[in-house]
Structure 1
Amino acid sequence: MSELAPSGIEATRRRLTEKQADTVDRLTVAAVEVLSREGYSGTTIRLVAASAGVGTATAYTYFSSKEHLISEVFWRRLVALAPMEPGEADATTRVVAVLRQVSMLVADEPALAGAVSSALLGDDPDVRHLRVRIGREIRRRLGEALGAKDPERLAALELLYSGALLQGGMGLLSYAQVADLLDMCARRLMAETATDG
């Protein structure tokens, strides 16, 4: 298991010193800039490295591919999301809030949103590793929102989320539409399963 980088985010490929963590931070920021300018197909590790002011070989020591780099950008944003406050809201309200929060994570950046969908479907081992971590983090957040052990409902919510985000990533729905659809479907699922018990 790797150490936490000084920024509080675990390095996915290696242990990072403070200087290395700064380099990785610069690369992830540059990746978003290059994506917005060049699009997914035009983005390369070489362009991102140049934009970040680091050598291409240095960038490859941290990221195995552009898919890995883009997946890392999403992972960092996900773990940086503020946790939902337990408050007095019921489970349905908490679940809907988590789904809306995660679905809107890249909503304001269409190039990044589309790139994340493509990147996370990659077969790069580093992407697979991040895909599992992202899935676990979303499951953890949804599980906390549910508040009760209900593996079937949790699995249905995860499937609902991943399907809706894929629709957004393919450009079939806007991310605002994804959030609204998740809201409607989650409320229906929570109501139906509540009456089934």
Structure 2
Amino acid sequence: MNLESTRRRLTERQADTVDRLTRAAVEVLGEEGFAGLTVRMVAARAGVAPATAYTYFSSKEHLVAEVFWRRLAASPQPEASTAEPVDRAVAVLRGVALLVADEPELAGGVTSALLGRDPDVEHLRARIGLDIRRRLTTALGEAADPDRIEALELLYAGALVRAGMGYGTYEKLADRMEAAARLLLE
């Protein structure tokens, strides 16, 4: 998958380097956790110089946020013609929550990374938020109003922080978000 970098447009070779770095980041996260992750470790795992890695990623937070963004961008969206709007919105929330459910170290890292102040992270956080908003708006169709969308965004953000703090698994988070979304929307 060739996604535009948050810092610049990429040639095919550069896109390959970024792909290798993001794959290596997931591996290192699984072994070391977010606290132990460094861009240097990821660069070594990916077979690139640290300076090259820093050309693409300003920080470990930026790198991990990019991993999440790429997974979100590649994830399928619920079919607009299927199910009821509430069911489609729930499917969006569940899909986002389960993007990292099988990888607890990555899940915790994503939560930490997305809370960062790095300008590149802020840019990705905005892209992620807009993508999720677009998915929710599409899912709700005519039932999409700004207050409902914002309530679902607050639900998702709070659930992400809660899961990142260790108050339950992402699978349980998805179930709780579904229940809360149904309370809000039905």
Q: Which of the five TM-score ranges fits, normalised by the shorter chain? A: over 0.9
Alignment-derived partner of residue 186 in structure 1: 181
Higher RCO (Cα < 8 Å, 6 or more apart): 2
Alignment-derived partner of residue 41 in structure 1: 35
Shift of 1:157: 0.6
Shift of 1:14: 1.2
Alignment-derived partner of residue 156 in structure 1: 151
Aligned-residue CA RMSD in angstroms? Answer: 0.8
Alignment-derived partner of residue 85 in structure 2: 91
Matching residue within 68, 74, 81 for 2:68: 74
Aligned mates of 1:86, 1:158 — CA distance in 2: 19
Mean Cα displacement is larger for which, 35-44 or 48-57? 35-44
Q: Larger Rg: 1 or 2?
A: 1
Alignment-derived partner of residue 4 in structure 1: none
Shift of 1:181: 0.4
Aligned mates of 1:92, 1:161 — CA distance in 2: 15
Output the amino acid matched with 1:98.
V
Structure 2: segments with no counterpart, 5+ residues: none
> Secondary structure of the equivalent of 2:83?
coil
Shift of 1:68: 0.2
> Secondary structure of the equivalent of 2:80?
coil
Aligned mates of 2:81, 2:128 — CA distance in 1: 25
Alignment-derived partner of residue 65 in structure 1: 59
Alignment-derived partner of residue 15 in structure 2: 21
Is 1:174 equivalent to 2:169 in the alignment?
A: yes
The C-alpha deviation readout for 1:146-194, integer Å capped at 9, x for no partner, is 1024110110011011101111111111101100001101111111xxx
Q: Quick one: percent identity of the two aligned structures?
A: 64
Structure 1: segments with no counterpart, 5+ residues: 1-6, 192-197
Give the length in aligned residue pairs: 185
Shift of 1:10: 1.6
Shift of 1:9: 1.4
Shift of 1:88: 3.3
Aligned mates of 2:171, 2:76 — CA distance in 1: 20
Aligned mates of 1:171, 1:119 — CA distance in 2: 15
Shift of 1:12: 0.8
Aligned mates of 1:10, 1:82 — CA distance in 2: 18
Alignment-derived partner of residue 110 in structure 1: 104
> Secondary structure of the equivalent of 2:99?
coil
Shift of 1:38: 0.9
Aligned mates of 2:82, 2:65 — CA distance in 1: 34
Contact 2:93 2:174 in 1 (8 A): yes
